[in-house]
Structure 1
Amino acid sequence: MLRVGLSGGIGSGKSTVAGRLAEHGAVVIDADVLAREVVAPGTDGLREVVEAFGAEVLGPDGALDRPALAARVFGDERALATLNGITHPRIAARTAELIAAAPPDAVVVHDVPLLVEKDMAPLYHLVLIVHADLDQRLVRLRDRGLPEEDARRRIAAQADDQRRRAVADVWLDNSGTPDVVLARVDALWADRLVRYESNVRLRRHAPYGPPVVVPYDETWPAQARRVAARIGLAAGGRTVEHIGSTSVPGLPAKDVLDFQLGVRSLAEAAELEEALAQAGFPSRGLAEDGVRHEGHAPEDWHKRLHSGADPGRCVNLHVRVEGGPAWNWAIRFRDWLRADAAARDEYAALKRELAERHRGDDTDLGYAESKEPWMAAATARVAAFYRDGQTS
């Protein structure tokens, strides 16, 4: 099962995207629909709302008068907290029921207006954010009968575009005509979501292909923060570090995010295998780092290796003993390259040369092995850099 979070500001057109995903076969769970269900006539939820806010929040038919309730809680944090305390646990329970009832091979799309505000992004394999320009949103809301002043107030009360971009794995611009965003959704479904779901279900990582070194991407740090949050949640809050070439500003690299996850032992690492696989990082088994320092037993360089299942974002996850030699080496090597411009340029030139040499390969194994002599020789340089006190 693939869990997809869908969100966007009011008037952005989330419903258009959700509807198209449903046409493709996604199981769409609409948080707004559930919010109405849990306070429908005859429910305990409605009874508690009336007890908290009075009968004046009921319409003549005995159903909840949502505008009247909104007027009571808007701008009143205490009243809103009371309402949320009644509805949110019920919405969460119903959401869990629907997810549990979905088929094992489902792409479950959770349409959540407040996904960003509630810091829910790490719960999903992928987050889709639907965007539209402010003027377009105001027009759409006006056409729904919402006065412009009210529309602007509601937009201002939600997360801004900067916060939404920070959690967006996919940014769907819906400022134009519907056919444009629908075409993007069609491609996303076929090229990414269906493949991602099968990879997660079959515990299969996405293929990397031949090595291609690209210029440094300014979005890599933001992408890494999103992936690291998912890894950390799946691993129970353990330490996650962004390492490797994409963690060094300005360094050309393969478009692969590398992380290390800290554990106390490899036995503990094995216990995390299933949780990481369910989160989209299936295991590739026990592996061994190239020995960078003398004086350590070979087992000090053992790790468990996982890779990402997302065909749209290649990830390597090295599960290592936190504070062990391999863990420390990865951080020191990263920080050395960040601080030493000459070493960074030297490494960049090597990477380009080796990528060109191995561009006809089916995988990047030959490329990785060809880097080992330079990496081994860098051991002494890294040690000297730290010994000389050039970094903290």
Structure 2
Amino acid sequence: MIRVGLTGGIGAGKSTVATTFIDRGAYHVDADRIAREVVEPGTPGLDRLVDAFGSEILGPDGALDRPALAARAFVDDESRALLNSITHPLIGARTQELTDAAPADAIILHDVPLLVEGHMAPFYHLVAVVHTDADVRLRRLVDLRGMDAEDARARITAQATDEQRREVADIWLDNSGTPEELATQARTVWEERLIPLRDNVAAGVPAALPTQVRDYDPDWAVLGRRVVARVWALLGANASAVEHVGPTSVVGGRAAPVIDVEATVADLGVADSVADSLTAGGFPRAESSGPGRLHISADADRPVRVRLRAVGV
């Protein structure tokens, strides 16, 4: 089982990618659908929203009037934070219920518009971002969805920037062309990356690491931060430090494009106790003649070595 987070700005075209993956067997967990479920009439979530934003957010039938809520919740950072503090925990709990029900061999697709804003990226094997320029998204929202232009601008502005999305994106899907072209990109990702990763994780098999030396690539630092965050998420309190080390961490150097991460644990007993978690998280155990314990990424497109060292060794 692997978990893939799918995100992108409002109007970016995530539904095309989601449909392409679902047609190929992805187990879909839709954050928007869950967000509607947890605030349906009669739910504690809707009661809390009314307490926070007033009964004016309800329609004549007692259901949530989303435009009315948006008019109150997207006016400033404090209001958005209040909205998120109510809905995010409810969405998270329901998301976990659905994830726990997935088949053991699933590619779980979490369709999460606010994945970046919610700091959820480290908890996925991979994050896929659908990108479309903001001006194109604005036209789509106004022309195709009938949204008010000012409301659409406010929602776009309230979401993560392109730079923030690039920071977490393992897969970047460019939707500047046609829906058919975007679907073709998604099919290639499914066949050439998601299926091999799922199978390697299931078998506990590391991917082969590249050996050809290259000039320094600034993206190595970005990937290093992403992998460090992922390893921290897997190890939690079992590690006292997780760092990007080795040749790819040295600005201006030459190296094989492998991200080396070193995690410090109390002793090798702890290292052995987290081996299954690292393997399930995409970093199977590998043989090593060096100190500590070695894990290597199951994703051939993200070459990573994770070495666990005991304190003082």
Question: TM-score normalised by the shorter chain: which range applies?
Answer: over 0.9
Select the residue among 246, 253, 258 that pairs with 2:248: 246
Change (3 A) 1:82 1:136: closer
In 1: Cα distance, 2:132 partner to 2:54 partner: 38
What code does the residue aligned with 1:132 have? T
In 2: Cα distance, 1:84 partner to 1:159 partner: 14
What code does the residue aligned with 1:321 have? A
Q: Could you tell me how far 1:84 is from its partner in structure 2?
A: 3.1
Q: Report what 2:55 is aligned to.
A: 55
In 1: Cα distance, 2:247 partner to 2:146 partner: 52
Q: Report what 2:235 is aligned to.
A: 235
Q: Report what 1:264 is aligned to.
A: 266
Change (3 A) 1:102 1:254: same
Q: Could you tell me how far 1:178 is from its partner in structure 2?
A: 1.1
Contact 2:116 2:165 in 1 (8 A): yes
Instruction: Please tell me whether Structure 1 or Structure 2 has the larger radius of gyration of its CA atoms.
Output: 1
Q: Could you tell me how far 1:51 is from its partner in structure 2?
A: 4.0
Q: Report what 1:176 is aligned to.
A: 177
In 1: Cα distance, 2:12 partner to 2:281 partner: 28
In 2: Cα distance, 1:87 partner to 1:164 partner: 22
In 1: Cα distance, 2:112 partner to 2:219 partner: 25
In 2: Cα distance, 1:262 partner to 1:97 partner: 32
Q: Could you tell me how far 1:82 is from its partner in structure 2?
A: 4.1
In 2: Cα distance, 1:97 partner to 1:10 partner: 26
Q: How does 1:272-287 map to 2 (within 5 A)?
A: 272-285=274-287, 287=288
Q: Could you tell me how far 1:63 is from its partner in structure 2?
A: 1.4
In 1: Cα distance, 2:220 partner to 2:84 partner: 36
In 1: Cα distance, 2:88 partner to 2:244 partner: 34
Change (3 A) 1:83 1:162: closer
In terms of mean alpha carbon deviation, does 245-254 or 89-98 score higher? 245-254
Deviations 1:226-269 (Å, cap 9, x if unpaired)? 01111112111521122222122222222211111111211121
Q: Report what 1:71 is aligned to.
A: 71
Q: How does 1:341-352 map to 2 (within 5 A)?
A: none
Unmatched runs of 5 consecutive residues or more in structure 2? none
In terms of mean alpha carbon deviation, does 183-192 or 12-21 score higher? 12-21
Q: Could you tell me how far 1:309 is from its partner in structure 2?
A: 0.8
Q: How does 1:359-374 map to 2 (within 5 A)?
A: none
Contact 2:74 2:158 in 1 (8 A): no
Q: How does 1:35-46 map to 2 (within 5 A)?
A: 35-46=35-46
In 2: Cα distance, 1:173 partner to 1:35 partner: 26
Q: Report what 2:309 is aligned to.
A: 320
Q: Report what 2:188 is aligned to.
A: 187
Change (3 A) 1:79 1:156: closer
Q: Could you tell me how far 1:76 is from its partner in structure 2?
A: 4.7
Misfit runs of 4+, over 6 Å: none
In 2: Cα distance, 1:165 partner to 1:2 partner: 21
- How well do the aligned residues superpose, as a CA RMSD in angstroms? 1.7
Q: Is 1:158 paired with 2:159?
A: yes
Contact 2:74 2:154 in 1 (8 A): no
Q: How does 1:298-337 map to 2 (within 5 A)?
A: 302-324=291-313
In 2: Cα distance, 1:258 partner to 1:176 partner: 36
Q: Could you tell me how far 1:47 is from its partner in structure 2?
A: 3.1
In 2: Cα distance, 1:146 partner to 1:109 partner: 27
Unmatched runs of 5 consecutive residues or more in structure 1? 290-301, 325-392
Deviations 1:164-201 (Å, cap 9, x if unpaired)? 11111111111111122111111100011011111112
Q: Could you tell me how far 1:81 is from its partner in structure 2?
A: 4.1
Deviations 1:329-373 (Å, cap 9, x if unpaired)? xxxxxxxxxxxxxxxxxxxxxxxxxxxxxxxxxxxxxxxxxxxxx
Q: Report what 2:105 is aligned to.
A: 105
Q: How does 1:104-123 map to 2 (within 5 A)?
A: 104-123=104-123
In terms of mean alpha carbon deviation, does 313-322 or 53-62 score higher? 53-62
Q: Report what 2:137 is aligned to.
A: 137
Change (3 A) 1:259 1:51: closer
In 2: Cα distance, 1:147 partner to 1:47 partner: 27
In 2: Cα distance, 1:310 partner to 1:55 partner: 49
What code does the residue aligned with 1:27 have? Y
Q: Could you tell me how far 1:70 is from its partner in structure 2?
A: 1.6
Q: Could you tell me how far 1:212 is from its partner in structure 2?
A: 1.9
In 2: Cα distance, 1:182 partner to 1:132 partner: 14
